[in-house]
């Protein structure tokens, strides 16, 4: 099984961006937070391969991980928001 680093980075960027959008509207009205969130969402879109590209097969197999894990990796949102939630809690107590 090939693990795609871009798939893990895309999940981390996507969920961190979504969490930062939530954090901006719910807790802290810092413009820097929303700019970083938008940049992370654009980065996640940019590194996700198109369906016709050769790297898409390893990307999809990383997100599924069917023989090892029951739930697909894309549903592991708590794992992927953990680093950014710790950083935001550290910067904005």
| Residue range(s) defining the domain that contains residue 33 | 5-91
Q: Are 55 and 49 in contact (CB under 8 A)?
A: yes
The total number of structural domains that make up the chain: 1
Residue 72 reports pLDDT greater than 70 = no
Q: Which residues does 34 contact at the CB level (< 8 Å), separation at least 6?
A: 20, 21, 24
Q: Are 23 and 88 in contact (CB under 8 A)?
A: yes
- pLDDT for 13 equals 93
Predicted TM-score (pTM) of this structure: 0.77
Q: Are 16 and 80 in contact (CB under 8 A)?
A: yes
Residue 7 reports pLDDT greater than 90 = no
């Amino acid at each position: 099984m090939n693990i795609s680093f871009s798939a893990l980075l895309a999940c981390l960027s996507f969920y961190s961006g979504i969490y930062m959008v939530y954090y901006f509207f719910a807790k802290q009205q810092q413009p820097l937070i929303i700019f970083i969130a938008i940049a992370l969402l654009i980065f996640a879109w940019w590194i996700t391969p198109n369906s016709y590209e050769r790297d898409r097969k390893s990307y999809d197999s990383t997100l599924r991980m069917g023989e090892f894990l029951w739930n697909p990796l894309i549903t592991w949102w708590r794992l992927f928001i953990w680093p950014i939630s710790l950083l935001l809690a550290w910067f904005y107590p």
